Every structure is written in structure tokens, then in C-alpha cells.
Amino acid sequence: MDLTEHRQILNEELKYVINDYDQFKQRINERKQNPQDHSLIKQINLWEIKSIEIIQQKAQEYREMLMKSSQTCIDDIEMKLNDLHKKIKQFQNENEFN
């Protein structure tokens, strides 16, 4: 192989290296311009959305449990107040006749 042929081969290889460099540089520039397009950012965004949905579901479940428990407690107090009212009326009626 002579020097001219060797130089031509090296020039061709250099073109490939420059082309690879240009492509890599383009990818870097795209990432800089669109950092939100990074796959890890997308995964974090998805994790955030799913986490918020789970928290909202749990919050709704506990609100419903609290409302049900509160209603049961209120119903119980209401029954006891009604019983007390009956006993007071009964006591009042018994004392009016005596």
C-alpha cells in the first residue's frame, strides 16, 4: 500500500469519526433543548401521577370511613338522648301526679 492510498483510507475513517461526532453533538443539543424528553424524567412524572392518584384514593377512603363512623356515633348519641328525654318525661309525669 502506498502513501496516497493510506492517506485516502485515513481520510475516509476521519469522515466517519467526524460524522459520529456530529451525530453525538446533535443528540447533546437536543437534550439541552428538551430536558423534559429524558426517559428518566418521564418515569419520574409517571411515578408522581400514580402516587398522587393513590394518595387521593386513600384520602377518599378515609373520609368515607370517618363520615360513617361519625354518623354511627351521632346516631348512638341521638338514641341515648331520646332515651334520656323519655326518662325525664316519665319522671316529670310521675312527679306531677304525686
Give the domain ranges of the chain. Answer: 3-97
Taking every pair of C-alpha atoms in the chain, what is the biggest distance, in angstroms?
137
Percentage of the chain beyond pLDDT 90 is: 71
**Rounded CA gap, 62 and 55, in Å?**
11
pTM: 0.53
Task: Give residue 98's pLDDT.
Answer: 59
**Rounded CA gap, 70 and 77, in Å?**
10
Mean pLDDT of the chain: 92
Task: Give residue 2's pLDDT.
Answer: 87
